[in-house]
Amino acid sequence: MGRSTTPTYRLEILGHTGKFTMTNSAWNVRGRNGFPGDGQPSTESLDRYVTSFEASLRSGECNAHLGIFSLTSCQIVRQSSGKVVATWKRSEQRKDEPSFQLV
């Protein structure tokens, strides 16, 4: 049988609605099974992740079905202690993001 392990870090994402729009996910420092890792948890690596993830949210991309335009903040938390080790917050509105939300 396989072995279950708890990831060292988790990623928490807050979307434009002001609520957690995604389930927390693992922050993989090192890659696995031929996939690259996310790197050491830092503001710089989190910024790279957000830039890449937001590109996938645009119309016609793989995550467009999630229905969010951009992220407002993210944080990486060490699982064992609950300590936040890196944070990212949006400083300005993205150029292609609508300034309104259809209800």
Quick: pLDDT tens for 35-61: 788 889 999 999 999 888 888 888 888
Residue 84: domain span: 9-89
Strand partners, 88: 74
pLDDT of residue 16: 63
Is residue 102 assigned to a domain? no
98, two tokens: 């609508």
Q: How many domains does the chain have?
A: 1
Of the two residues 96 and 91, the one the predictor is more confident about is: 91
Is residue 77 assigned to a domain? yes
Is residue 40 assigned to a domain? yes
Is residue 100 assigned to a domain? no
What is the mean pLDDT of the segment spanning 32-37?
A: 80
User: What integer best gives the mean pLDDT of the chain?
Assistant: 80
Residue recorded with tokens 């890659």: 31
Is residue 46 assigned to a domain? yes
Is residue 98 assigned to a domain? no
pLDDT of residue 103: 47
pLDDT of residue 96: 55
Is residue 94 assigned to a domain? no
CA distance 37 to 57: 21
The rounded radius of gyration (Å) of the Cα atoms in the chain is: 15
